[in-house]
């Protein structure tokens, strides 16, 4: 059975507290459980105060077989930030600009160059999703079409190589949209002239959608994951409805992180859909103790709150 843990972002103290609350103990330098494994949902780096320490917990658990882990958008961003563009000498696949510099700054400050290179190469080996017996795991959005496209590209490019990253990180290239969907979620454009500010203060003209539901009969506000910020109660446009694919209620449970939901008590989004990233304030780290059930339960959420 698995214990799923959402976006850590360098909150190592809370990670250790959560692991201990779930019954994991440190032996020979690695946290382990006699009967269970952890699945980490990506986004180990950036933002938090103890990025090295978090990686020193996660990576040994994965390498010793006591955990599985997938890649988050912050890991992909970091790989692209440090990968030179073979078609534009002197440029990187993720542009060096104030916004991107700020996002990765804490990681760069807390890891020395050798550590950073080592962890980036390890991140390159992480899968982008897991489709296991009884459950599915992805960072932001389970989309069968996008997953099939990426799976074919991984085989073609030989993994998360420079050529794969270039296709994934340049708008207009074949992998840009599929990778955006699975690592950042589906979005829907607001009607012309409408916008809102996200939690980081950035102006947005697109909503992050409740992709697991059908948009038919919904408004932009009700179809948005962060509905409290959306200034629009208009019915969803038909083009959004036609492009949507809801997650079947008969499908295996799917777990994801990424969305940085509010710090209210974690709860299911649907009976087979669980987000376990409730970290809008530092120190709130969430997990889900999965025991093989196909109908998920709010009682299985476990979390710790920072001081």
Q: Are residues 218 and 276 located together in one domain of the fold?
A: no
**Structural domains of the chain, count:** 2
Q: Are residues 103 and 156 located together in one domain of the fold?
A: yes
Place of tokens 């990426």: 150
**68: containing domain:** 2-184+248-305
Task: Please name the helix (run of DSSP H) or strand (run of DSSP E) that holds residue 304, with its range, or none.
Answer: strand 301-305
Surface-to-core class of residue 53, CB atoms within 10 Å of its CB (0-12 exposed, 13-18 middle, 19+ buried) = middle
Question: Mind spelling out the 3-state secondary structure of 173-202?
Answer: CCCHHHHHHHHHCCEEECCCCCCEECCCCC
What is the spatial distance between Cα 222 and Cα 214, in angstroms, rounded to a whole number?
11
pTM of the predicted model, to two decimals? 0.95
Q: Are residues 83 and 172 located together in one domain of the fold?
A: yes
> For the chain, what percent of residues have pLDDT higher than 70?
97
The enclosing domain of 52 has a CATH number of 3.60.21.10
Q: Is the pLDDT at 280 greater than 70, yes or no?
A: no
Q: Is the pLDDT at 199 greater than 90, yes or no?
A: no
What is the spatial distance between Cα 15 and Cα 262, in angstroms, rounded to a whole number?
19
Rg (C-alpha) for the chain, rounded Å, is 19
pLDDT in tens, 165-195: 999 999 999 999 999 999 999 999 998 888 8
Q: Are residues 129 and 236 located together in one domain of the fold?
A: no
Q: Residue 34 — pLDDT band, cuts 50, 70, 90? A: very high
């Amino acid at each position: 059975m698995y214990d799923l843990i959402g976006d850590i972002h360098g909150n190592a103290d809370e990670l250790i507290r959560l692991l201990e609350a779930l019954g994991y103990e440190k032996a020979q330098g690695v946290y382990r459980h006699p009967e269970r494994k952890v699945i980490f949902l990506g986004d180990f780096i950036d933002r938090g105060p103890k990025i090295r320490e978090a990686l020193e917990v996660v990576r040994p658990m994965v390498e010793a077989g006591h955990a599985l882990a997938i890649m988050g958008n912050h890991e992909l961003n970091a790989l692209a930030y440090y990968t030179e563009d073979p078609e534009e000498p002197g440029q990187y696949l993720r542009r060096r600009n104030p916004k991107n510099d700020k996002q990765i700054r804490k990681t760069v400050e807390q890891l020395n160059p050798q550590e950073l290179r080592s962890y980036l190469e390890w991140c390159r080996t992480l899968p982008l999703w897991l489709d296991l017996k009884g459950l599915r795991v992805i960072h932001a959005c389970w989309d069968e079409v996008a997953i099939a496209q990426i799976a074919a590209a991984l085989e073609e490019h030989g993994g998360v190589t420079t050529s794969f990253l270039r296709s994934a990180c340049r708008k207009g290239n074949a992998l840009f949209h599929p990778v955006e969907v699975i690592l950042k979620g589906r979005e829907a454009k607001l009607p012309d002239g409408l916008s809102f500010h996200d939690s980081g203060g950035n102006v947005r003209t697109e909503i992050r959608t409740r992709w697991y539901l059908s948009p038919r009969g919904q408004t932009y506000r009700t179809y948005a994951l962060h509905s409290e910020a959306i200034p629009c109660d208009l019915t969803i446009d038909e083009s959004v409805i036609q492009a949507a694919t809801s997650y079947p209620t008969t499908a295996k449970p799917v777990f994801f992180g990424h969305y940085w939901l509010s710090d209210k008590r974690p709860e299911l989004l649907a009976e087979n859909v669980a987000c376990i990233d409730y970290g809008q304030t530092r120190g709130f780290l969430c997990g889900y103790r999965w025991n093989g059930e196909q109908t998920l339960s709010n009682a299985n959420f476990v979390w710790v709150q920072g001081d």
